[in-house]
Amino acid sequence: MTGPPLEDRPFDGNHFDYSPWSFWDEADERAKRRQLDVRRHLAEHRGYRIGERCFLSELASVQNEEFHLGHGCYVAAGAYLSGSLHAGRDCTINPYAVVRGHVRLGDAVRIGAHTSVLGFNHTTDDPDTEVFRQPLRSTGITIGDDVWIGSHVVVLDGVTVGDRSVVAAGAVVTRDVPAGAVVGGNPARVLRWRVPALAPRSDDLVAGLTAFAETAHAQARRVLERCWDPDLGLFTDRPGSPPTVRAQCDAVEVADLLLGRAPEQLPARVQVDRLRGWQDPGTGLVGALRPDGTVEPARDGLSDPGAAYHVLSVGYALDLLGSGFAEPVHVVSRTDAAEVVAGLERQPWTTNAWAAGAWVDALGTALHWNRRRGDLGATGATEALFGWLLTRADPRTGAWGRPAPEDGLLQVVNGFYRASRGTFAQFGLPVPHPERVVDTVLEHVRDARFFRPETQNACNVLDVAHPLWLTRGTAYRADEVLGVARRLLADALGHWTDHAGFGFRAPHPTTTGLPATAPGLQGTEMWLAVIWLLADLLGLAEVLRYRPRGVHRPEPGPV
């Protein structure tokens, strides 16, 4: 036993054996002398080399023929070590880890609890001889510098784990891990890149992202100026189009993304007062913008598509400006559980799942804004929403709605994005059937009607990118997901128009002149979010120097 007497801290008599990182700062002198005696004994009688400020728990099993620990390493209780171990400085072998065979660790390697690093294997060449009677073979395992290996990982013989990489908990590593990668799954695959600069550059995505980021940041002021109407004192989506509520909000989002502040055309306080003033105090909704700068009442509550989206766009624009709605969204705070279920049942899930998902998105976001204000609404309303979605998700697709001959899985996938964005994603809850969602999205993205470069639009690509990002933790079909992300990202980077931004639809010689391809604030805001999501799937988002914080923020909504 080390540390204070047992009676002073019950259940913690072996504190440093299980939490050895604090030993040399907190243990008493008797315990430190005991540890130095252990180290001397191992050096004299076994030839072990152990650096300064190392700690070896006497509750570990250390049976190595060769053993070298650099400065500041520790081995915790229950660890089982055998074979030859050569470790650099500041390495950690946590409780119940197994490190056997020929293993070499670089500097600052952390090995989680219950992990097995097995630098040997049985041969199985002779089918007529029992496996345990056949000889062992050892190629050895090499783990580079600054590597974090999570708990319950298995690393098999012959593997090299590159510098600055991360191996996610539960992974089974059967092949080399590239330097700078984050890997997970069984067998382990690259999930993303901890060090984007080390990502493969065969498609030159890093260079493309870098060039795009420099262009977008440098041209952001011009993109906003182009859509500002000084006579009206309002933003329009693009020059010549009428001002809309959404255009004001998209301007706030684009400025936040690329400039890190509010649009310069008006003081932030003026923009906040205007957006708050557009909220109807009776319903809590924001209707359509009239030519004189006032807003119309929402026609049918959340069934008014414009007002429903304004719950998202105005709410997040105000949040980015450091404010919020002046009133709760009253039409939602007055809705009880039975009415929530009735509203969900009325939605056109089988014919227009996107519209149904949009209604859910607005409802979930209104509940979110209200809860943030302390208005919890009718008892059980939020629970009714999540309960209905959980029990009605199709276990075959992970989504709601049905495919149709005229547009395949488009409605299913787009409806899933809208419904999950406003609920599971915004509230930070796991989606039901995540692996089926991946299956469905990967099947949908093969539909050339929507994903050829000339047919892409921001909505359809966003509605693929977000579900793949939301389910990325499963590592399911990770190689295919990353392949889709690379392809769509390479396409998206080519959609930018200098000094104007993105159109909603991708530009192409065959679509020249279509209004949807004209650059505007809506397309710019959406494609910026798409590019970030796809880049983050590939571990390259840091190159962009922005992160969505509004409607398309990757994290749960602000609380």
Q: Which amino acid is at 550?
A: G
Q: Which residue has the tokens 């009415």?
A: 339
Buried b (16+ CB within 10 A) or exposed e, 316-327: bbbbbbebbbeb
Q: Which of 71, 122, 495, 552 is catalytic?
A: 122
Annotated catalytic residue 122: yes
Whole-number Cα distances in Å, 372 to 249, 327, 368, 387: 20, 12, 6, 21
Question: Are 39 and 55 within 8 A, CB to CB?
Answer: no
How far apart are the C-alpha atoms of 435 and 160, rounded to whole Å? 29
How far apart are the C-alpha atoms of 312 and 551, rounded to whole Å? 6
Residue 173, strand partner residues: 155
Residue 328, strand partner residues: none
| φ/ψ of residue 147, rounded to 5 | -115, 135
Question: Are 548 and 532 within 8 A, CB to CB?
Answer: yes
Question: Are 297 and 283 within 8 A, CB to CB?
Answer: yes
Question: Are 165 and 177 within 8 A, CB to CB?
Answer: yes
Q: Which residue has the tokens 């915790």?
A: 76
How far apart are the C-alpha atoms of 540 and 531, rounded to whole Å? 10
Enumerate the active-site residues: 122
